[in-house]
Amino acid sequence: MKKLLIFAILVTLVGCKTAPVAPKFPDVPNELTKSCPDLTLIDESVTKLSDVMTVVSKNYNQYYECKVQIDNWIEWYNMQRDINNKIGK
Amino acid sequence: MWLLSFIPDSFLHLAVLAILSAGAVLYTIGLFINFIPPLYPYKEITRIIGTALIVAGVYFYGSYNTEMSWRKREEELQAQVKQAEQKSKDANAKVKVKIVKQLKIVHDKQVVVQQIIQRDAAKIDAICKLDPSVIKDLNEAAKNPLGDSK
């Protein structure tokens, strides 16, 4: 009786099947995986405004580089979401 | 129906039809046994087996059709997944190209701005003298309030 029960359970289990279709989550481009660096600080020995402006403008540039990353992250996510949401429909 | 996935479609179809046909043949034989007296004792059992095979055959035929419809659905989904993966790759390539292009624009602009500052440095520094608190205050504003960003 015990063996029969084990056999019945095994037979039931072989009826189980995992979903054979599993979409792989796409890899994000490497360009988007870098984190934004901290802003550059000005050397305290600096006395010229032009040197200050150089650092400040580099920081502005850094902001725009980060903006490119974030905006493209959002665009990438929206595109991938739309592509994946269409599967099975 | 995991085990069924190992059996070829044509074999499954053939097996179902064989069971159904065997049931129909047995049942028909059961009807004609009335005309053959020596086989009369087997009449009932032949009909019972025939009926059981017909019922099983119809059931298997239904199962076969369900299995086939799932396999078709699976194939469709796999095709869609493949298509989606290709679209994902295309989208990634598009984003990569766009990032590189945008970063180049930002970088080029920065180079120009730096050149302008260097060109105007003498003029700027001649009329403006900085108080040390300017650097301190600017650095304070530039510090990440969350500490280490990682």
Within-domain flag for B35: yes
Q: Which residues contact B103 (CB under 8 A, 6 or more apart)?
A: A31, A65, A68
Residue-number span of the structural domain to which B110 is assigned: 7-140
What is the predicted pLDDT for the residue at B108?
A: 96
Q: Which residue has the tokens 């304070």?
A: B140
What is the predicted pLDDT for the residue at A15?
A: 59
- A17 in Cβ contact with B5 (< 8 Å): yes
Per-residue pLDDT reduced to its tens digit, A48-76: 999 999 999 999 999 999 999 999 999 99
Q: Which residues contact B40 (CB under 8 A, 6 or more apart)?
A: B33, B34
What is the predicted pLDDT for the residue at B150?
A: 53
Number of domains observed in the structure of chain B? 1
Taking CB atoms and an 8 Å cutoff, what residues of chain B touch A85?
none
pLDDT, average across residues B129-142: 89
Within-domain flag for B147: no
Backbone angles phi, psi at A68, to 5 degrees: -60, -45
H or E stretch at B120: helix B43-127
In A, minimum Cα distance to B78 occurs at A21
pLDDT, average across residues B48-77: 91
Cβ contact A59–B77 (<8 Å): no
Mean pLDDT for chain B overall: 89
Q: Binning pLDDT at 50, 70 and 90, where does residue A39 land?
A: very high
What is the predicted pLDDT for the residue at B96?
A: 93
Within-domain flag for B146: no
Q: Binning pLDDT at 50, 70 and 90, where does residue A87 land?
A: confident
Mean pLDDT for chain A overall: 86
Report CA A13 to chain centroid distance, whole Å: 37
Would the pLDDT of A11 be above 80? no
In A, minimum Cα distance to B82 occurs at A23
Within-domain flag for B19: yes
* Torsion angle (degrees, nearest 10) of CA B139, B142, B144, B150: -110
Q: Which residue has the tokens 């997944």?
A: B81
**Of residues A17, A22, A29, nearest to B1 (C-beta):** A17
| DSSP-assigned states of every residue in A55-89 | HHHHHHHHHHHHHHHHHHHHHHHHHHHHHHHTTT-
Within-domain flag for B150: no
CA–CA separation, B17 vs B13, rounded Å? 6
Would the pLDDT of A83 be above 60? yes
Within-domain flag for B32: yes
- Which B residues 53-82 touch A at CB under 8 Å? 74, 77-78, 80-81
In B, minimum Cα distance to A15 occurs at B1
Taking CB atoms and an 8 Å cutoff, what residues of chain B touch A69?
99
Q: Is the pTM of this model over 0.80?
A: no
Would the pLDDT of B4 be above 90? no
Per-residue pLDDT reduced to its tens digit, B89-105: 999 999 999 999 999 99
Q: How many CB pairs under 8 A join A and B?
A: 136
**Of residues B2, B121, B135, nearest to A46 (C-beta):** B135
Would the pLDDT of B31 be above 60? yes
Integer CA distances (angstroms), A89 to A27, A76, B76, in order: 23, 21, 10
